[in-house]
Amino acid sequence: MIPAGAVLVVDDQLDRAAALLAALDDPHHRYEVTTEAPDLEAVLGPDSPWDCVICHVELLNVSWASVRRAMRTFDVQVPVLAVSDHRDMDSMTTALGLGAASFFVTPSEKPGLVRRAIERSVHHRQLQRELVETNENLAKANTELSHSLRILEQDQAAGRQVQKAMFPGQSLRAGEYWFSHRILPSLYLSGDFTDYFNVDQSKVVFFLADVSGHGSSSAFATVLLKNLFARKRSDYLRRNDTTVIDPIEMLSLANSELLELHVNKYATMVVGCLDFETHTLQYSVAGHLPKPVLMTPGQSQYLAGEGMPVGLTPEATYQLETMALPETFMLVLMSDGVLETIDEVDLIEREKTLLSRISGSLEKPGDLIRRLSLGDVTSDDLADDIAGLFISRGVG
């Protein structure tokens, strides 16, 4: 389909212009004739209403040198078709000097060629307009997007501060035991979470969770888990409800509450209860990798434990593991983001490499973090969140 356009014919001989229009016999475009165009920028510039200009190069009382100088002062956007009654070098030179898109001698005798040149010029001009409009829309969209991004970053940063406030405020000493943690988020908000707290004079409950996905929705799931453990701790202190010190019961509750949210989120977890008077540990693993690592002088090993993640199926079951704690050890719980820092493709090889890196002399958690090459990493360096929970006795 031929695009409709506006064509300006500049010719100081109206009879000649009328003859050209009659020969063109073009109903698809709107034509207007003028004997002069004193404001060249208004006719040929970016804001021109015209899609094509047909200009006769043999206009009287026109200095083409002045016209060329004037055209250098603005951005010419409208295609110009130059026409002449004579085939001579001066006319062609004038047309070239004007930057004409086409040059026609006696155009009335070849109206088909002129019509096609007009159609090309109109199409070119309308493409220019569409490009300008597209660029303006893109610039507007980019401005709006930048504004939205700034608001989102502010919200995420605020959310990050709230989430940081939910983590344990400092290391916890319970009898001969120390509990500490480290969180390395890959984004503002983390789907990894850990907590530990006293529940009576001899017990500390702890957990480490790795919620599926990233960002706000995963962080919201960590709020649910934090709230669940806080509620059950309160029930223990106020009503002697022992659920909070039972890792299997806590995992079952976490499984039910995540399923009831209907947010398609699940979490791998390790939940434990350490009795620092009897020096025993009860824990349960819900699909979490890597498994907890027990470091003792001269040996490091993964602890036993298996079970399904919470939030996947109501039929999930969990196993309780019980162990006596050695006099000198460090128990290391980490989220699977730490495995992403290891180059091996095979998961089993990654776990072997992680155990090899952890193995060695018993040191403080900060030294262990540096041994894993995580001491100076930033969120830009991480493909996934990394959370670490460290429980030690007789170390440092």
CA distance 195 to 154: 26
The residues spanned by each domain of the chain are 6-135, 167-393
Integer Cα distance of 394 and 396 in angstroms: 7
DSSP string, 282-348: EEEEES-SSPPEEEETTEEEEPP--BPPBTS-TT--B--EEEEPPSSEEEEEE-GGGGGGS--SSHH
CATH class of 6-135: alpha beta
**φ and ψ of 106, to 5 deg:** 45, 65
What tokens does 147 get?
């504004």
For the chain, 396 residues long, give each residue's pLDDT as a single digit of tens: 456 889 999 998 999 999 999 999 999 899 999 998 888 899 999 899 999 999 998 887 777 778 888 888 888 899 999 888 888 787 777 777 778 888 888 888 889 999 999 999 999 988 888 888 899 899 898 888 877 777 666 655 555 655 555 567 788 999 999 999 887 766 666 678 899 999 988 999 999 999 887 767 777 788 888 899 999 999 999 999 999 999 999 999 999 999 998 878 899 999 999 999 999 999 999 999 999 999 998 888 999 998 999 999 999 999 999 999 999 999 999 988 888 878 877 888 888 888 888 887 777 777 777 777 675 655 555 556 788 899 999 886
Tokens of 75: 């951005």
In DSSP notation, 107-138 reads GGG-HHHHHHHHHHHHHHHHHHHHHHHHHHHH
Cβ atoms 246, 286 nearer than 8 A: no
- As a whole number of angstroms, the distance between CA 18 and CA 1 comes to 26
Which two tokens mark 299?
């040996």
Nearest by Cα to 126 from 51, 201, 55:
51
What does the block give as tokens for 190? Answer: 């983390």
Q: What is the CATH number of domain 167-393?
A: 3.60.40.10
